[in-house]
Amino acid sequence: MAIDLIIVDNYEELSQRAADIIASCVEADPACTLGLATGTSPIGLYAKLVEKCQAGEISFKDVTTFNLDEYRGLNPEHNQSYRYFMNHHLFDKVDINKEATHVPDGADPDAEHACAIYEQLIERNGGIDLQLLGLGHNGHIGFNEPQDDFPAKTHLVQLTQRTIEANSRLFDSIDDVPREAYTMGIGTIMAARSILLVATGSSKAQIVHDVMYGLVTPQVPASILKFHPNVTIIVDKEAGALCQQ
Ligand code: GLP
Atom 1 in ligand 1: residue holding the nearest Cα: 39
The ligand 1 atom nearest the CA atom of 142: 9
Q: What is the arithmetic mean of pLDDT over 146-161?
A: 94
Query: Average pLDDT in the 93-97 region?
Result: 98
Ranges of beta strands (E only) in the chain are: 4-8, 33-36, 64-67, 69-71, 101-102, 130-133, 155-158, 180-183, 194-199, 231-236
| Centroid of ligand 1 to alpha carbon of 78 (angstroms) | 18
Dihedral of the alpha carbons of 14, 86, 151, 72, in degrees to the nearest 10: 140
Residue 245 has pLDDT above 70, yes or no: no
Stretch 173-202: mean pLDDT = 97
Among 170, 156, 146, CA closest to 222? 146
CA nearest ligand 1 atom 3, residue: 142
Whole-model pTM over 0.85? yes
DSSP code, position 214: S
pLDDT at 163: 87
Pocket of ligand 1 (CB under 6 A): 37-41, 68-69, 134-136, 142-143, 163, 167
pLDDT of 60-78, one tens digit each?
999 999 999 999 999 999 9
End-to-end Cα distance, the chain: 17
Q: Which of 11, 14, 41 to mutate to test the pocket of ligand 1 (most atoms within 8 A of CB)?
A: 41
| Residue range 115-134: mean pLDDT, rounded | 98
Q: What CA dihedral angle connects 27, 29, 135 and 186, to 10 degrees? A: -170
* Secondary structure (3-state) at 231: strand
Return mean pLDDT, the chain.
96
